[in-house]
């Protein structure tokens, strides 16, 4: 009796279930049944758009609805995809969403809302374009979000918000045209990496507001225009890395970061830096290990430094800055400054000013703390000076086509008064003067000698002529015409004979030889 009852019962139950299942199967069609999408037995939905201009709508309504049993969504090569409001919210088994090569991805509020029962889901968007990233796109337990090579026309306020238990948020090579304040608002994440790409011309105040990062906060190779004060408010990362970035303007206290570990700022290019742009980077006072009393052997200066984290500021380039632009919280960090390139032409007068602006900012520091009188001004305990090596400061040597040169090198070669350059100039001048004097002397000597020589050139005849005309030794016309030969040794140089026609020449001939003529 009991057995037949059981069989009958189970048969009725089976009939009921099979009819129910049949009804569900025949009646409900889903996204899986229409191209360009297809599904497999594991609940994977794959959509590969082949036709140009096809618009793919992912929604939970209509006859092309998404099945709640979807475990994975892959969309490829579609020119336009619309992911409707809360379409994913009923998929309890959803593990991943991949949207690749979508020319126009339209998202709505809560497009990426996940079921509160879902396992952890990974969302990735690659090589796509999104006109507007709306507010509150995400909701729920997203394990990882990756945006790679995505153009985002506008990143609205609260675009990244409502995230729970997120391990990684990674934006790689994303070109964000406009960023609104609070685009990243109040969530916890293990790793927050922005790599390459840009945040646009303006990174407003509170772009990242109240973000708790457990492991690493990194901005790597990001281009940014003006970064406003308090643009990045990030709590408790163990590592902060700001590297390879190009930032036009960094306003005062642009970074408000409470770090639990080392801070690395390296290989960045800054246009101009406001006063105390990095002063908002500090260490969490509660977490910071207190100076351990066990290290009794160490000196007083090193015990003061024990609770400090490293802040490495290395290989950065700055065009414009002022006193206190590069201040660091010395009560939290032990700053290490190296290879700071002042991207201006080296100038002997400016070198000490620049150096002083970076190293000696005590005045600005106390003024800044006096203004924020809510804060107790930190006792400026005798600070260890920042280690300075010859390579700490560099500027552009305009003489060698703007090659970076260290301050010390440049100073030694071009600036100091006792420098070799001046000596070289002095020697050159002295040699030139000596040369000129020498040349003058030589010319003068030659002149003198020539004058002396000229007197000898016209020689007085050494021998008196044998035959001079009579008449008291006066050479007369008769003498020339008489035919008596005049001694050819008496030579006269007359440039133009006619001018001298009426000139009288008195030639006195002295003779000191025995007379041959009869008296």
Ligand X SMILES: *[C@@H]1O[C@H](CO)[C@@H](O)[C@H](O)[C@H]1NC(C)=O
Reading the block at residue 375, the tokens are 């804060």
> 3-state DSSP call for residue 14?
helix
φ, ψ dihedrals at 79, nearest 5°:
-75, -30
Q: Which is nearer to ligand X, 56 or 468 (CB)?
A: 56
Residue 41 CA to its chain's centroid (Å): 52
Min CB(415)–ligand X separation in Å = 18
Q: Which is nearer to ligand X, 76 or 303 (CB)?
A: 76
How far is 397 from 346, CA to CA, in rounded Å? 5
Q: Which is nearer to ligand X, 264 or 306 (CB)?
A: 264
Residues in touch with ligand X (CB under 6 A) = 23, 26-27, 48, 76-77, 80, 82, 85-86, 101, 103-104, 106, 108-109, 127, 131, 244, 246, 267, 269, 315, 356, 360, 363
Min CB(246)–ligand X separation in Å = 6
Reading the block at residue 264, the tokens are 């690395």
Min CB(230)–ligand X separation in Å = 24
Q: Which is nearer to ligand X, 100 or 421 (CB)?
A: 100
Min CB(362)–ligand X separation in Å = 6
Q: Which is nearer to ligand X, 267 or 331 (CB)?
A: 267
Report the chain's C-alpha Rg in angstroms.
49
Decide the pairing of beta strands 393-397 and 403-406. antiparallel
Q: Which is nearer to ligand X, 86 or 156 (CB)?
A: 86
> 323, 222, 225: which is closest to 279 by C-alpha?
323
Q: Which is nearer to ligand X, 26 or 373 (CB)?
A: 26
Min CB(100)–ligand X separation in Å = 7
Q: Terminus-to-terminus CA distance in the chain, angstroms?
A: 205
How far is 247 from 274, CA to CA, in rounded Å? 12
Q: Give the residues across from 195 on adjacent strands.
A: 172, 220
How far is 129 from 127, CA to CA, in rounded Å? 7
Give the helix/strand (H/E) hosting 164: none
Min CB(29)–ligand X separation in Å = 10
Asked if 267 and 315 count as a contact pair (C-beta separation under 8 A), the reply is yes
φ, ψ dihedrals at 513, nearest 5°:
-125, 160
Min CB(354)–ligand X separation in Å = 13
């Amino acid at each position: 009796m009991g057995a037949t009852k059981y069989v009958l019962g189970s048969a009725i139950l089976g009939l009921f279930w099979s009819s129910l299942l049949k009804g569900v199967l025949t009646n409900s069609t889903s996204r899986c049944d229409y191209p360009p999408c297809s599904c497999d037995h594991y609940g994977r939905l794959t959509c590969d758009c082949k036709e140009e201009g096809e618009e793919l709508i992912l929604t939970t309504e209509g006859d092309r609805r998404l099945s709640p049993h979807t475990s994975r969504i892959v969309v490829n090569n579609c020119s336009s995809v619309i992911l409707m409001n809360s379409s994913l919210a009923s998929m309890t088994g959803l593990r991943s969403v991949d949207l690749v090569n979508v020319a126009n991805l339209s998202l709505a509020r809560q497009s990426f809302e996940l079921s509160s029962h879902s396992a952890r889901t990974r969302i990735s968007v690659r090589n796509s374009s999104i006109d507007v990233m709306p507010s509150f796109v995400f909701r729920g337990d997203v394990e990882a979000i990756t945006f790679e090579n995505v153009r985002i026309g506008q990143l609205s306020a609260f675009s990244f918000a409502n995230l729970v238990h997120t391990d990684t948020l990674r934006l790689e090579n994303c070109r964000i045209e406009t960023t609104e304040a609070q685009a990243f608002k109040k969530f916890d994440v293990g790793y927050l990496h922005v790599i390459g790409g840009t945040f646009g011309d303006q990174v407003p105040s509170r772009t990242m507001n109240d973000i708790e990062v457990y492991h690493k906060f990194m901005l790597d190779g990001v281009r940014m225009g003006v970064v406003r004060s308090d643009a990045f408010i990030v709590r408790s990362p163990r590592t902060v890395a700001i590297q390879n970035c190009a930032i036009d303007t960094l306003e005062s206290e642009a970074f408000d970061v409470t770090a639990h570990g080392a801070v690395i700022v390296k290989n960045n290019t800054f246009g101009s830096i406001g006063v105390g742009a990095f002063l908002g980077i500090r260490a969490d006072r509660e977490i910071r290990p207190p100076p351990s009393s066990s290290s009794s052997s160490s000196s007083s200066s090193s015990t003061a430094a024990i609770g400090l984290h490293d802040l490495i500021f290395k290989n950065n380039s700055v065009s414009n800055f002022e006193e206190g632009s590069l201040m660091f919280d010395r009560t939290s960090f032990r700053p290490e400054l190296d290879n700071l390139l002042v991207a201006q032409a080296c100038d002997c007068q400016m070198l000490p000013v620049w150096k002083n602006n970076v190293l000696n900012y005590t005045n600005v520091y106390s003024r800044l703390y006096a203004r924020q009188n809510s804060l107790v001004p930190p006792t400026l305990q005798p600070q260890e000076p920042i280690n300075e090596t010859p390579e700490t400061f560099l500027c552009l040597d305009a003489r060698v086509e703007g090659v970076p040169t260290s301050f010390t090198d440049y100073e030694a070669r071009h600036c100091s008064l006792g420098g070799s350059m001046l000596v070289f100039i002095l020697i050159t001048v002295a040699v030139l003067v000596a040369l000129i004097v020498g040349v003058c002397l030589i010319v003068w000597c030659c002149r003198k000698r020539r004058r002396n020589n000229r007197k000898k050139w016209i020689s007085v005849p050494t021998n008196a002529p044998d035959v001079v005309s009579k008449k008291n030794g006066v050479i007369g016309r008769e003498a020339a015409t008489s035919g008596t030969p005049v001694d050819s040794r008496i030579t006269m140089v007359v440039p133009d004979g006619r001018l001298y026609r009426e000139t009288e020449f008195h030639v006195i001939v002295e003779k000191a030889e025995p007379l041959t003529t009869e008296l």
